[in-house]
Amino acid sequence: MFARRTQWNLATNRHAQAVERARLSGCPLLDLTAGNPTAVGLAYEDARILAALQHPQALTYEPAPLGLLPARQAVAAYYAGHGVTLPPEHIVLTVSTSEAYTYCFRLLCDPGDEVLVPSPSYPLFDFLADIQDVRLVPYELVYDHGWQIEFESLARAITPRSRAIMVVHPNNPTGHFTRPWELDRLNHLCREHELALVADEVFLDNPISAPAPFSFADNQGALTFTLSGLSKICALPQIKVAWLAASGPSELVAEAMAKLEVIADTYLSPNAPIQWAIPELLSTGPGIQRQLNQRVATNLATFDEALSTARLVTRLAFDAGWYAVLRTPAARSDEELAILLLEEDGVLVHPGHFFDFPAAGYLVLSLITPPEDFAEGIRRLLHRIESFV
Ligand SMILES: Cc1ncc(COP(=O)(O)O)c(C=O)c1O
């Protein structure tokens, strides 16, 4: 009865089952995967956020396929803050970055066409591609004192069915962001093979160290779609506001925008009260980002201090984002290790295979975890792993 694209293996894996058991048992857990910013003790500007949702013009219906102009102007102002001049008519509002990906895939790909995705990376992409009948083809990020794109693997992955190269900038979970020399090579590949670039910038405002990452919204070297939204830049995932912004050669951008307008007009997805709230909500972003970046810095300092005496555990260098990648002995699978930490120590971590790390020996931790939980979780984690010798 159901489409082949929905034939997912929906059985929960061993780690997910262990998490369920641990939660049901009621034992307190130290959750070092905490990724929901609304549940980690940040001080939001509650009154401003709630007041923004009561805009009087929300009582009027005014269909606007790309999104209401004041909202798109506010998004353009966000990019102006990153030194990018972006005309509001090159912006399309969506309810989520996931929906923005969907629009890009619908615009660029016929069924069976391919999109090149970085590996390791964020796990949601597989489902997004399945639902759109797009085939994801991984290209490698390699680690050598820091992450970078492995361009030979990227070039090898390109076929006549390739339509776009995706970059997650900064990447989740590696924390790598694209350097100017990498952008030049990406543009070159895109022009040579008539590909578009799709850049996911949800963590753009979370650099760990200078220089901060540039925005792809300024890229003129190839047709580029830059995706972001309030879920990360204002730490408001429940508000459901995101966008895609087109840049690049003007004829291609004009054609893309005309087609995107039809796609967006078919759904008219973001609701009016939220769209009217966007200018005010976006203005709360810098305050919450200061807290997030402070939180990440605090946890990272705790982590590095604890690691300074560890013999078996190191962390990988990274540039930005909310996550840290841990290198652990590969004697047992990362799933087994994560289950051991959960069951013996009450510490919840992401096994690396969740993000498609190529081998055992990687764990991923959230640096936005409340600092007391983070410090105690790290203490227990290191105690457990260091006892392996
Ligand atoms: C790299 C990346 N892109 C997109 C998203 C999802 O964003 P949204 O909530 O706007 O769909 C996430 C969520 O964690 C993410 O890590």
Give a three-class secondary structure readout of the chain.
Answer: CCCHHHCCCCCCCHHHHHHHHHHHHCCCCEECCCCCHHHCCCCCCHHHHHHHCCCHHHHCCCCCCCCCHHHHHHHHHHHHCCCCCCCHHHEEEECCHHHHHHHHHHHHCCCCCEEEEEECCCCCHHHHHHHCCCEEEEEEEEECCCEEECHHHHHHHCCCCEEEEEEECCCCCCCCCCCHHHHHHHHHHHHHHCCEEEEECCCCCCECCCCCCCCHHHCCCCCEEEEEEHHHHCCCHHHCCEEEEEECCHHHHHHHHHHHHHHHHHHCCCCHHHHHHHHHHHHCHHHHHHHHHHHHHHHHHHHHHHHCCCCCCEECCCCECCEEEEECCCCCCHHHHHHHHHHHHCEECEEHHHHCCCCCCEEEEECCCCHHHHHHHHHHHHHHHHCCC
Task: Give the residue with greater pLDDT, 367 vs 211.
Answer: 367
CB 377 within 8 A of CB 34: no
| Average per-residue pLDDT for the chain | 96
Report CA(301)–ligand 1 centroid distance (Å): 26
Asked if the model's pLDDT at residue 389 lies above 70, the reply is no
N residues, the chain: 389
Lowest-pLDDT choice from 105-114, 121-130, 196-205: 121-130
Q: What is the pLDDT of residues 19-43, one digit of tens each?
A: 999 999 988 999 999 999 999 999 9
The residue whose CA is least distant from atom 4 of ligand 1 is 97
Q: Look at residue 287 and tell me whether its pLDDT is greater than 70.
A: yes
Ligand 1 centre distance from Cα of residue 205 (Å): 14
**Residue 242 Cβ contacting ligand 1 at under 6 Å:** yes
Counting residues of the chain whose pLDDT is more than 90, the rounded percentage is 94
Structure confidence at residue 229 (pLDDT)? 98
Q: What is the pLDDT of residues 145-162, one digit of tens each?
A: 899 999 999 999 999 999
Mean pLDDT of 199-208: 96
* Region 74-88 average pLDDT: 98
Q: Distance from the CA of 127 to the center of ligand 1, in angstroms? A: 13
102 lines ligand 1 (CB under 6 A): no
The residue nearest atom 16 of ligand 1, judged by CA position, is 172
Q: Is the pLDDT of residue 282 over 70?
A: yes
How far does the centroid of ligand 1 lie from the alpha carbon of residue 94, in Å? 13
pLDDT higher than 70, residue 91:
yes
Which residue from 122, 171, 204, 225 has its CB within 8 A of the most atoms of ligand 1, so it is best to mutate? 122
- Per residue in 251-268, pLDDT tens? 999 999 999 999 999 999
CA of 202 to the centre of ligand 1 (A): 6
Nearest atom within ligand 1 for CA of residue 229: 10
- Whether residue 80 is predicted with pLDDT greater than 80 in this model: the reply is yes
Cα–Cα distance measured from residue 372 to residue 70, given in angstroms and rounded to the nearest whole number: 41
Residue 145's pLDDT is what? 87
What is 4-43+286-386's CATH superfamily? Aspartate Aminotransferase, domain 1 (3.90.1150.10)
Ligand 1 neighbour 299 (Cβ under 6 A): no
What is the architecture, at CATH level 2, of domain 56-284? 3-Layer(aba) Sandwich (3.40)
Question: pTM for the whole thing?
Answer: 0.97
pLDDT tops 90 at residue 301: yes
Instruction: Please identify which residue in the block is written with the tokens 């102007």.
Output: 73
Do the domains 4-43+286-386 and 56-284 sit in the same CATH topology, yes or no?
Answer: no
pLDDT tens-digit series, residues 108-117: 999 999 999 9
Q: Are 157 and 139 in contact (CB under 8 A)?
A: yes
**Per-residue pLDDT tens for 265-275?**
999 999 999 99
Atom index in ligand 1 nearest the CA of residue 228 equals: 10
pLDDT of res. 124:
85
Whole-number Å distance, alpha carbon 46 to ligand 1 midpoint, is: 23
Q: Determine the atom of ligand 1 nearest the C-alpha atom of 121.
A: 1
Domain residue spans in the chain?
4-43+286-386, 56-284
Express each pLDDT in 356-374 by its tens digit. 998 889 999 999 999 999 9
The answer, yes or no, to whether any atom of ligand 1 lies below 6 A from the CB of 200, is yes
Cis peptide before 88 (omega within 30 of 0): no
Residue 229 CB–ligand 1 contact under 6 Å: yes
Q: Which of 120-124, 144-148, 157-161, 333-337 has the highest mean pLDDT?
A: 157-161
